[in-house]
């Protein structure tokens, strides 16, 4: 038996994805085989999704509910039902191995960055067995093509931020300035034509909040920071963030926990917690 769809989720699916191509596209994206899909001919949207819910409950598709909620949240990141369910879904972040791509850059002439130490903190967290980490140090923006060959659940960018720009490296190690808008255009192309589906995005850069607006729709959950990031605090935060993904409801919740633990380790990191930006905002239980 599979985990059943909740009534609010069935209603939200019925409103957002009508029987026919919209619903079929979402189901295919979520991994539903065509033979498990009910007929869309002459049925109301709510009835169609109720039949899908029956297939989910009977276990026709492994982890069907979570697959549907993550796919729906990626398509409609402004829909609170989908985003909340995807974040809460243990199948999305709490169980199995999470694939992380860490892309770091330290152009010549820029203040020394902690990208290598940040990667080490992520790798140390991965020793707990819940992460599979791939990395691209000294990265040009074209290194994001790695996502096409080796899909990742979370993209972690450890680079300098300057206003709405992120700083990568060119072939000589010099600064390659890329606007968040241009970066979002690249990731959108990968999503639409390369089947890249990011569950989470981490902007490990100073002033990351100034770059998130065009990037928010590219992942169901994300993390950024306001202001200047202290190197030691950022490294500690990265380690805590990926350790917390073992049991947190999602990336946003893990980030809130990680920020608190970072301050408990070093109260000089209070500005990191105060300047933490996550989307969507985790709901409080209880």
pLDDT tens track for 166-201 = 999 998 989 999 999 999 999 999 988 887 888 899
Share of the chain above pLDDT 70, in %: 91
Is the pLDDT assigned to residue 90 strictly greater than 90? Answer: no
Q: What's the CATH code of the domain at 254? A: 3.40.50.1460
Q: pLDDT tens-digit profile of 15-35? A: 999 999 999 999 988 878 888
Residue given tokens 């990742």 in the structure block: 152
Q: Say which residues have a Cβ less than 8 Å from residue 249's Cβ, sequence separation at least 6.
A: 87, 88, 90, 93, 94, 282
CB 179 within 8 A of CB 168: no
- Residues 115, 45, single domain; the answer is no
The pairing of strands 165-169 and 154-158 is unpaired
Q: Using CA atoms, how far apart are residues 180 and 191, in angstroms rounded to an integer?
A: 16
Neighbours of 83 (CB within 10 A): 24
CB 157 within 8 A of CB 122: no
- Can you name the residues that pair with 136 across neighbouring β-strands? 103
Is the pLDDT assigned to residue 62 strictly greater than 70? Answer: no
Do the domain assignments include residue 130?
A: yes
What's the DSSP call for residue 153? S
Domain count, the chain: 2
Q: What is the arithmetic mean of pLDDT over 236-257? A: 90
According to the model, what pLDDT value does residue 110 have? 64
Closest CA to 73 of 152, 9, 18, 132: 9
Q: What is the arithmetic mean of pLDDT over 243-258? A: 88
- Residues 223, 156, single domain; the answer is yes
Token couple for 23: 């619903």
Is the pLDDT assigned to residue 285 strictly greater than 50? Answer: no
**Dihedrals phi, psi of 112, to nearest 5 degrees:** -55, 135
According to the model, what pLDDT value does residue 63 have? 67
Determine the distance from the C-alpha atom of residue 227 to the mean position of all C-alpha atoms in its chain, rounded to a whole number: 22
Query: Of 31, 60, 88, which one is at a domain's C-terminal end?
Result: 88
- Residues 74, 105, single domain; the answer is no
pLDDT category of residue 151 using cuts at 50, 70 and 90: confident
- Residues 142, 196, single domain; the answer is yes
Query: Of 40, 56, 88, which one is at a domain's C-terminal end?
Result: 88
Query: Of 69, 88, 107, which one is at a domain's C-terminal end?
Result: 88
Q: Using CA atoms, how far apart are residues 257 and 255, in angstroms rounded to an integer?
A: 5
Q: In which element (H, E) is residue 12 found?
A: helix 7-16
According to the model, what pLDDT value does residue 191 have? 86
Do the domain assignments include residue 38?
A: yes
According to the model, what pLDDT value does residue 286 have? 39
Residue 66 structural domain:
7-88
């Amino acid at each position: 038996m599979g985990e059943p769809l909740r009534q609010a989720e069935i209603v939200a699916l019925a409103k957002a994805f009508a029987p026919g191509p919209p619903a079929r596209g979402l189901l295919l994206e979520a991994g539903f085989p065509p033979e498990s899909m009910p007929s869309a001919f002459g049925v109301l949207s709510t009835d169609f999704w109720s039949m899908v819910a029956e297939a989910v409950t009977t276990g026709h598709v492994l982890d069907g509910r979570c697959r549907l909620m993550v796919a729906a949240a990626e398509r409609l990141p402004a829909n609170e039902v989908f985003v909340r369910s995807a974040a809460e879904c243990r199948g999305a972040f709490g169980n199995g191995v999470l694939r992380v791509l860490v892309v770091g850059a330290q152009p010549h002439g820029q203040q020394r960055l902690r990208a290598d130490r940040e990667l080490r903190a992520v790798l140390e967290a991965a020793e707990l067995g819940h992460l599979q980490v791939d990395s691209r140090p000294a990265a040009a923006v074209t290194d994001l093509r790695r996502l096409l060959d080796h899909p990742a659940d979370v993209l972690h960018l450890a680079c300098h931020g300057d206003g709405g720009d992120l700083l990568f490296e060119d072939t000589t190690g010099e600064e390659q300035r890329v606007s968040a808008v241009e970066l979002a255009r690249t990731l959108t192309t990968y999503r639409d034509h390369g089947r890249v589906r990011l569950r989470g995005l981490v902007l490990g850069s100073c002033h990351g909040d100034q770059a998130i607006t065009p990037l928010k729709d590219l992942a169901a959950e994300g993390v950024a920071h306001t202001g200047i990031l202290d190197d030691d605090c950022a490294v500690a935060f990265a380690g805590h963030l990926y350790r917390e993904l073992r049991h947190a409801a999602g990336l946003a919740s893990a980030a809130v926990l990680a920020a608190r633990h970072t301050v408990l380790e070093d109260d000089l990191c209070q500005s990191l917690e105060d300047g933490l930006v996550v989307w969507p905002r985790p709901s409080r239980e209880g």
